[in-house]
Structure formats: structure tokens, C-alpha cells
Amino acid sequence: MKKNKTLTAWLAFLGGTLGLHRFYLRGLGDTLGWALPIPTALGLYGIQRVQQFGLDDQWSWVLIPCLGFSFAGCALTAIVYGLMTREKWNAKFNPDQPEDAAAGATSWFTIAAIVLSLLVGTTVLMASIVFSFQRYFEYQVEEGRKISQ
């Protein structure tokens, strides 16, 4: 079966945190594909903890970025796949096809996946970093105030 570069880029962007692009390329036996939902679930649990315990919950500072970093990594994967040359794509994922097979071609849909992955992935990555550091430094300030009193 031919592996389509555009479809893979979109799967990595939209469903990468569930491992969909890995299963598409490597089948259901892919270990990393099964491992990708773990940080996603941890991040979602962190969001649930914030809703339940508020922003002062220290575990949420660790758990929420797991989701953000996982999504950002999958967005980066979509960019890498989308920018891969036709020849390299077909050699790696369609070895039984000729080098110039259409499955490795770049279309406007591929470019759209790359652009959205860059835009959203960067935003999510920066938001994850900012959330963690902001909460950590606010916690340090509060602890400093307790000591100084």
C-alpha cells in the first residue's frame, strides 16, 4: 500500500498525539505509536486537576506541559514529513514504488499542513513553557513571602 505524504502530515498534525501517523506508516505494532497517547492523557489529566483544584495545584504544572510538548513534537513531525522530498519519501516509505511516485508529492494541502503545524505547534509549545515557568515562579514568590514574614 502506498503511503501518502500529505495524509501523513495531516495525521501527524491532527492526530499525532494519539499516534495515528505512526500507525498509518508502520502499522498497529508500532511501540512509539502506542506510547504517544500516554503524555496526552497525562496532560489532559493536568487540565482536569486545574479545573478541580485550581491553578495552585503543583502537579498540573508538570502534567499540562506533557500535552503541549507532545502536540508540539507531533507538529514538528508533520513539518518534517511535509518538507521531505518526493524521492526521499518514496525511498523511505514506498520502497516498492518508483522514486517519482505521486504518493510522495507535495501539494497545496501538504503546504497547508506544514503552515498550520508551524503556527499552532509553536503557539502550543510556547504556551506550555510559559504556563509552567509562570506557575513555578509565582510559587517561589509565595514561598519567599512566607519565609520573610
Q: Do residues 84 and 6 touch, judged by C-beta distance below 8 A?
A: no
Question: 11-23 pLDDT, tens per residue?
Answer: 999 999 999 999 9
Give residue 34's pLDDT: 96
Give Cβ neighbours of residue 3 (< 8 Å, ≥ 6 apart).
24, 25, 89, 93, 94, 103
- Put simply, whether the predicted model's pTM sits higher than 0.75 gets the answer yes
Kindly state the percentage of the chain with pLDDT values over 90. 67
CA distances for 140 relative to 47, 66, 135, 136, 143, angstroms: 22, 22, 9, 6, 5
Question: 25-78 pLDDT, tens per residue?
Answer: 999 999 999 999 999 999 999 999 999 998 778 888 889 999 999 999 999 999
Give Cβ neighbours of residue 118 (< 8 Å, ≥ 6 apart).
75, 79
